[in-house]
Amino acid sequence: MRSQRCSNFMPTRPLQNVVFVGAERGDEFAHAMRLVCQGHDVIAVNPRETSPAKEFRRAGGKFFRARLEDLPRVCRFDLICENYPYPSGRHYVSPRALALARLARLKPGGRWILVTESRRYASLLKAVADYDGAVRLRFRSALTPLSIDEAPPSVYPRADTRFRLVFRRCR
């Protein structure tokens, strides 16, 4: 089985605005650079700048040491890719606040694709789209279990299943 990456879901139409949220690892930046080379406008954001982030910037990629919420509100995206968010401790963000911050940045027809190892967290995020009336009118969501081989690599505790959550903004 081949690992499914967020960038695999990128449509073939040109000039898409893409953001990789929380990108840290070399494989995430490699996927981001692949999209840059295809002509898409791609940025990566993370409050922590890793060595792969520095290499991505040196290779011509756009990396911002920030959270998605720190970007100007006018930044809107066709695709938001996020692998294994870990909002805890002093960086804790409720699932609803996290979802609303990302959904507000999607262009019509845009998607937010999130992969997590936590069934509970995925269910809480999906509930925002399913039960919040204002969100339910503008967004559709789908939750899919993935085997470890299908999911992006993770250094988090080994679990048999990962979960992909896709939100799509209706036109």
92 — pLDDT class (breaks 50, 70, 90): confident
Collapsing DSSP to helix, strand or coil, 166 comes out as strand
Whether the per-residue pLDDT at 169 is higher than 90: the answer is yes
Sheet holding 77-83: strands in order across? 62-64, 41-45, 17-21, 77-83, 106-116, 161-169, 139-147
For the stretch 58-71, pLDDT in tens is: 999 999 999 999 99
pLDDT top residue among 7 and 58: 58
pTM for the model: 0.88
When pLDDT is averaged across residues 143-150 and rounded to a whole number, the result is: 90
Instruction: Show the tokens assigned to 110.
Output: 């845009």
Confidence category of residue 87, pLDDT binned at 50, 70, 90: low
Is the pLDDT at 15 greater than 80? The verdict is no
**What's the pLDDT at 35?**
93
Confidence of residue 155 (pLDDT cuts 50, 70, 90): confident
Q: What is the pLDDT of residue 10?
A: 57
Assess whether pLDDT exceeds 90 at residue 150.
no
Closest CA to 83 of 152, 34, 141: 152
Query: Is the pLDDT confidence value at 14 over 80?
Result: no
Looking up tokens 């299908």, which residue turns up?
Answer: 150
Mean pLDDT, the chain, integer = 88
Q: Lowest mean pLDDT of 38-52, 72-86, 87-101, name the range.
A: 87-101
The least confident of 1-5, 26-30, 46-50, 64-68 is: 1-5
Sign of the torsion angle spanned by Cα atoms 130, 122, 78, 46: positive
